[in-house]
């Protein structure tokens, strides 16, 4: 598999194209991502949103319309696709709402949405099952964590999510929603520091 990345928009949001033999998967098409996707993707099988913040879903509808690809997002963040922050992005509609953490298969590629609420109600890491890789969205960054002081954020849920991920044993390469890549093991080493701030 091949992964392409472009940093999009004023907030430096990472859009990823996961290219496989079965087709391409788009993760978090932010502001300006459509041209990047159009130039580098062929047969788009799905658009996967780690969460619903506008800078991660800005070009959802443009990509969906062009490639006829379904949008996947956790059900708790579906409401954000209609732009409750009033930022002006085109509204999009989810085709598949994630309701649990079961593995599911899209065109022969297996994914798992791992729910870590706090940054948003439906904030997820999207694991590429069997590949030791997860798109961590705005939950975990290189040397940092997602903010929990926004509308619809929840500090208590964020603390619980960090406590939960601290116990994960899997070795995972993390591709965050902003900044450079890291690993779960690297970020677990810093979790005590962040948890002391609650």
Query: Can you give the pLDDT at residue 197?
Result: 86
What is residue 38's predicted lDDT score, i.e. its pLDDT? Answer: 97
- Distance (Å, whole) CA 51 – CA 170: 22
For residue 92, give its domain range: 2-195
Q: Which residue has the tokens 């993760």?
A: 27
Helix (H, G, I), strand (E, B) or coil at 72: strand
- List the chain residues with pLDDT less than 70: none
Domain total of the chain: 1
- What is the model's pLDDT at position 1? 87
The closest alpha carbon to 53, from 165, 148, 142, 164, belongs to: 148
Which CATH number covers residue 145? Answer: 3.60.15.10
Amino acid 75: pLDDT: 98
pTM exceeds 0.95? yes
Question: What is the DSSP annotation of 101-166?
Answer: ---EEETTEEEEEEE-TTSSTT-EEEEETTTTEEEEETTEETTEE----STT--HHHHHHHHHHHH
pLDDT per position as a tens digit, 9-35: 999 999 999 999 999 999 999 999 999
Q: Specify the DSSP class assigned to residue 29.
A: -
Length reported for the chain: 198
Look at residue 147 in the predicted model and tell me its pLDDT. Answer: 97
Q: What is the CA radius of gyration of the chain?
A: 15
């Amino acid at each position: 598999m091949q992964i392409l990345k472009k940093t999009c928009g004023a907030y430096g949001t990472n859009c990823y194209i996961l290219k496989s033999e079965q087709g391409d998967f788009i993760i978090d098409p932010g502001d300006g991502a459509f041209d990047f996707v159009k130039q580098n993707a062929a047969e788009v099988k799905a658009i996967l949103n780690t969460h619903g913040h506008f800078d991660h879903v800005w070009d959802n509808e443009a990509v969906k319309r062009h490639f006829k690809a379904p949008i996947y997002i956790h059900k708790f963040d579906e409401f954000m696709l209609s732009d409750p922050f009033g930022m002006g992005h085109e509204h999009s509609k989810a085709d598949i709402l994630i309701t649990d953490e079961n593995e599911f298969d899209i065109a022969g590629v297996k994914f798992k949405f791992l729910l870590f609420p706090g940054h948003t109600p439906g904030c997820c890491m999207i694991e590429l099952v069997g590949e030791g890789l997860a798109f961590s969205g705005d939950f975990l960054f290189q040397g940092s964590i997602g903010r929990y002081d926004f509308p619809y954020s929840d500090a208590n849920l964020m603390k619980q999510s960090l406590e939960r991920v601290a116990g994960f044993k899997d070795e995972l390469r993390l591709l965050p929603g902003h900044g450079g890549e890291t690993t779960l093991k690297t970020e677990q080493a810093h979790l005590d520091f962040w948890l002391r701030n609650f």
